[in-house]
Amino acid sequence: MESGLRHYLVVTGGYWAFTLTDGAIRMLVVLYFHSLGYSPFEVAMLFLFYEFFGMVTNLVGGWLGSRIGLNLTMHIGMGLQVVALSMLMVPEAWLTVAYVMTAQALSGIAKDLNKMSAKASVKTLLPDSGSGSRLFKWVAVLTGSKNALKGVGFFLGALLLQLTGFRGALAVLSGGLLIVLIVTAMLLPSGLGKSKARPKFTQVFSKAPAINWLSAARFFLFGSRDVWFVVGLPVFLYSVLGWSFTQVGGYLALWVIGYGLVQASAPKMLHHSHQGRGPDGSTARFWVFVLALFPAAIALALQLGLGPGWVLVTGLVAFGVVFAINSAVHSYLIVAWSDHDKVSMNVGFYYMANAAGRLTGTVLSGLVYQQQGLVGCLWWSTLFVLAAGLLSLGLPRR
């Protein structure tokens, strides 16, 4: 158990370092290319391959991790991220839409290999985690801390862009991640999380109804966030409210940090509702329908002409708290409902749906913002949350 915990902490540390670069590169790309004159839809298209190849990677990565080990998939992901960051350090004339999309494709593959490896390792490295509530705690800490650090990455990316410029920021990020890759490769054993059986690729398509319903709900849950958060919100804050790069990055960073802290605290917040056991399908259903109230309320407030700065700051905080609880419950359920020998494939399949939702939300974020503004993005978000709620009706209670 001690060695398992030690290896889990190494995996978590590597995941944290990777997450910093992932958050930073997203903010760098959004702000830098918008400042070059790219339209909101063009900025969204820069992330198209990032999300698409992340979706493919989750599908293949879970199967790959079960065959070659989760430590190898994690290190492959880190190496690809270093390459992706380095690719963007070329002269500005080379940074065409197609070239940046290619670099973002590598970054998407890297991110989801890393995420799948870290999430699946919770059950692999801590097999004797005891009750459902204890497993919920481990998953929530990993997921929450990751998102808090992604928020730090948002701020770090905006700050480095302001202080060192686009290429200087990329050099700092790629150099730091390369060091972490070397250290974690030295500390982790080989074959971590490798399945005893040799699973066939066709086994990645889950046949468990609970996993399928949860994955479908996850698609719309994360699409509901990204449809207004990825492009519409930062562009609105920068171009309409006149915020600086650092202000935009700092605010979104604080939001994601708070979101991560709420995720990590979700087991304590929901303790009385599941009485020492983990959450179940009814927990997921309740919180997703509560979430639908918030994007609708923000959209109505903006349409009524209330101060957009005040509405967005307070509304986004409220949305973030409830969204974080939803995400924590979902992240626990996919691990809890998976057998030890199939956890990497089930987690991969589930995060494929997650990436597909992010892809859809990202594309819609640029397209809808360009045609209908931020209010349109918020109404699309409301529809996506309601769709997630309807799909959650198929989740079992226990």
Q: Please give the residue that has the higher pLDDT: either 31 or 342.
A: 31
Which are the contacts of 291, defined by CB distance < 8 A and separation ≥ 6?
A: 224, 319, 322, 323, 326, 385
- Residue in 116, 135, 157, 133 with CA at minimum distance from that of residue 21: 157
- Residue in 175, 194, 118, 182 with CA at minimum distance from that of residue 150: 118
Instruction: Report, as an integer, the average pLDDT of 156-175.
Output: 90
Which are the contacts of 9, defined by CB distance < 8 A and separation ≥ 6?
A: none
Which are the contacts of 64, defined by CB distance < 8 A and separation ≥ 6?
A: 73
pLDDT band at 222 (very low <50, low <70, confident <90, very high): very high
Domain 2-188+208-392 has CATH 1.20.1250.20: yes
Backbone angles phi, psi at 95, to 5 degrees: -80, 65
| Per-residue pLDDT, 205 | 61
Q: Are 248 and 158 in contact (CB under 8 A)?
A: yes
Given a cut of 80, is residue 40 above it in pLDDT? no
Distance CA 351, CA 378 (A): 24
**Of the candidate ranges 20-29, 169-178, 217-226, the one whose mean pLDDT is the lowest:** 20-29
What percentage of the chain carries pLDDT values higher than 90? 27
Amino acid at 370: Q
- 117-156 pLDDT tens trace: 777 776 666 555 545 667 777 777 777 887 788 888 888 8
Q: Please give the residue that has the higher pLDDT: either 342 or 27.
A: 27
| Per-residue pLDDT, 357 | 92
| Per-residue pLDDT, 376 | 95
Question: 209-243 burial, b if ≥16 CB within 10 A, otherwise e?
Answer: ebbbbbbbbbbbbbbbbbbbbbbbbbbbbbeeeeb
Q: Please give the residue that has the higher pLDDT: either 171 or 272.
A: 171
Q: Please give the residue that has the higher pLDDT: either 198 or 212.
A: 212
- Residue in 368, 392, 366 with CA at minimum distance from that of residue 380: 368
Q: How far is CA 66 from CA 57, 203, 210, in A?
A: 14, 11, 21
Longest dimension (CA), the chain: 60
**Of the candidate ranges 2-6, 39-43, 69-73, the one whose mean pLDDT is the lowest:** 2-6
**Of the candidate ranges 160-164, 203-207, 328-332, 339-343, the one whose mean pLDDT is the lowest:** 203-207
Q: Please give the residue that has the higher pLDDT: either 389 or 28.
A: 389
Q: Are 212 and 42 in contact (CB under 8 A)?
A: no
Given a cut of 90, is residue 35 above it in pLDDT? no
pLDDT band at 244 (very low <50, low <70, confident <90, very high): confident
- Residue in 37, 11, 211 with CA at minimum distance from that of residue 120: 11
Chain mean position to CA 380 = 19
Instruction: Report, as an integer, the average pLDDT of 279-284.
Output: 89
DSSP letters of 272-329?
Answer: HHHTTSPP-HHHHHHHHHHHTHHHHHHHHHHHTT--HHHHHHHHHHHHHHHHHHHHHH
Q: Are 81 and 107 in contact (CB under 8 A)?
A: yes
Instruction: Report, as an integer, the average pLDDT of 304-325.
Output: 92
Question: Average per-residue pLDDT in the chain?
Answer: 83
Q: pTM to 2 decimals?
A: 0.76
Q: In a 3-state reduction of DSSP, which class is residue 30?
A: helix
Given a cut of 80, is residue 341 above it in pLDDT? no
Given a cut of 60, is residue 33 above it in pLDDT? yes
Given a cut of 90, is residue 292 above it in pLDDT? yes
Distance CA 55, CA 39 (A): 25
| Per-residue pLDDT, 238 | 84
| Per-residue pLDDT, 146 | 76
Q: Please give the residue that has the higher pLDDT: either 278 or 260.
A: 260
Instruction: Read off the tokens for 108.
Output: 């998407």
